């Protein structure tokens, strides 16, 4: 195996996970971030994000001398063999991707590299961005060096990001030369995983097409779930029957209150925007976006139809993150619903989440009450909303709601419980598609 000197720009989910996994596979890795406090935190062995197995691998590879952290990008980029760009590309108001962070890193690379270098864009960027990045870097070069830009999109899921990187189903690389392809293949050789090698624009499109297809699948099942409620069918039985068809598969068939997180909402809107810029209407993706927006507040609307007011009632909220296994709140349904609850006069909201509390406090520091157990949230509550299917929440038994709540009224956005069991337990229970 050839050992490469790799620099990763950005230590969010994409950059930090990539950097740690490259070090785990034997490369020398330097992770660059602009936040000095964050760098010190990582050097002390503390992971800045909640992600299974990541902190342990950070500590191991830092101790073994393959992993470094710095704010000194000038020194880091100077002698890098390959620089992976893993900075954020947040959504702009019109749905397009904000490429300002990618541009900033590209300029810094151009001004500081002193040897031939491969630049690898791992951030999710619109099709054609890698072409622009390469031209921008070449236009801004200070030293007479050779630079080629390649695409290497990530396909990790928050909560399983380390596993999704080390045991990926495939690695996608987009290059415009055999030389660049050779280097990327050598970097990934110790992973011993299938490599899909295409041109840059195809690699960029594979990322969007994959995420948007999964978003479509989720929105389709939620749409069917809504119809199931109207016609008396059970979405879980429908999903089970569908799952046996290998053309459909069993994954992403669970109905609920919509998708969230850092990828699906942003990527569906970005591809929709890109199509519009080219005079094309992506009707299927637009439908997925519309269905998801409505689905996220379906529980609140159900509760509003049932309640005369939320004012003066104790409202229990179980789960704040967009899914279990992460502390990420981006596009989490809890945000939409709590906003509506507050606007509707709810003044006694008690929320529980095993890891999401600190991040939620940044958005709502005083407006809601945070508790350390589900039981505290439920005690004396008039109504309960379930937004995330954490194991700590799934372990609550139907009789616990009856015993703890003042009025056992439960709105479950993740279909955790059996309708029959909740009914037998004396719970007024509402779920999705059943």
H-helix or E-strand spanning residue 302: helix 298-306
DSSP 3-state assignment of 386? strand
Copy the structure tokens of residue 400. Answer: 């616990």
Contact of 57 with 24, CB cutoff 8 Å: yes
* Closest listed residue to residue 123, CA positions, set 137, 133, 113, 110: 133
DSSP string, 116-159: -EEEEE-S---TTHHHHHHHHHHHH-SSS--EEEEE------TT
The dihedral over CA atoms of 203, 208, 210, 211, expressed in degrees to the nearest 10, equals 140
Distances (CA, A) of 417 to 126, 243, 422, 431: 40, 20, 7, 9
Contact of 31 with 15, CB cutoff 8 Å: yes
Q: Report the distance separating Cα 150 and Cα 189, nearest Å.
A: 17
List, by residue number, the catalytic residues: 263
- DSSP tag of 412: E
DSSP 3-state assignment of 9? strand
- DSSP tag of 253: -
Question: Which residue's structure tokens are 């990187």?
Answer: 165
129-140 vs 100-112: helix crossing angle, rounded to 10: 40
Q: Report the distance separating Cα 171 and Cα 153, nearest Å.
A: 8
- What's the CA angle centered on 88, arms 219 and 130, to 5 degrees? 95
Q: Report the distance separating Cα 112 and Cα 98, nearest Å.
A: 24
């Amino acid at each position: 195996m050839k050992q490469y000197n790799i620099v990763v720009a950005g230590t969010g989910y994409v950059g930090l996970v990539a950097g740690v996994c490259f070090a785990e596979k034997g490369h020398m890795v330097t992770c660059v971030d602009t936040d000095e406090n964050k760098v010190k935190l990582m050097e002390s062995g503390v992971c800045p994000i909640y992600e299974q197995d990541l902190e342990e691998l950070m500590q191991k590879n830092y101790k073994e001398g393959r992993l470094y952290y710095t704010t000194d990008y000038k020194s880091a980029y100077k002698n890098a063999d390959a620089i992976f760009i893993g900075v954020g590309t947040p959504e702009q108001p019109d749905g397009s991707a904000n490429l300002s962070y990618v541009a900033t890193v590209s300029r810094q690379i151009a001004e500081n590299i002193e040897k031939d270098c491969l630049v690898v864009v791992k951030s999710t960027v619109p099709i054609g961005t890698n072409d622009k990045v390469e031209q921008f870097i070449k236009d801004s070069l200070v030293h007479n060096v050779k630079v080629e830009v390649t695409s290497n999109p990530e396909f990790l899921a928050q909560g399983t990001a380390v596993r999704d990187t080390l045991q990926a189903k495939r690695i996608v690389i987009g290059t415009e030369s055999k030389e660049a392809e050779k280097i990327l293949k050598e970097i990934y050789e110790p992973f011993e995983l299938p490599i899909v090698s295409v041109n840059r624009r195809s690699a960029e499109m594979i990322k969007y097409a994959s995420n948007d297809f999964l978003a479509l699948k989720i929105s389709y099942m939620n749409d069917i779930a809504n119809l199931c409620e109207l016609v008396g069918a059970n979405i879980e039985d429908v999903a089970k029957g569908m799952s046996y068809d290998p053309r459909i598969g069993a994954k992403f068939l669970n109905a609920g209150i919509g998708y969230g997180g850092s990828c699906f909402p942003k990527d569906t809107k970005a591809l929709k925007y890109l199509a519009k810029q080219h005079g094309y209407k992506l009707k299927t993706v637009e439908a997925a976006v519309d269905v998801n927006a409505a689905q996220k507040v379906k529980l609140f609307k159900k509760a509003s139809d049932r309640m005369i007011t939320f004012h003066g009632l104790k409202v229990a909220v179980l789960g704040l993150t967009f899914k279990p296994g992460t502390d990420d709140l981006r596009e989490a349904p809890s945000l939409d619903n709590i906003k509506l609850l507050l606007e509707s006069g709810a003044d006694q909201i008690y929320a529980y989440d095993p890891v999401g509390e600190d991040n939620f406090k940044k958005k709502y520091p005083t407006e809601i009450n945070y508790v350390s157990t589900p039981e505290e949230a439920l005690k004396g509550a008039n109504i309960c909303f379930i937004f995330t299917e954490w194991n700590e929440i799934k372990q609550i038994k139907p009789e616990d709601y009856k015993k703890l709540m003042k009025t056992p009224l439960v709105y479950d956005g993740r279909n955790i419980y059996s309708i029959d069991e909740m009914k037998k337990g004396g719970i007024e229970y509402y779920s999705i598609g059943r």
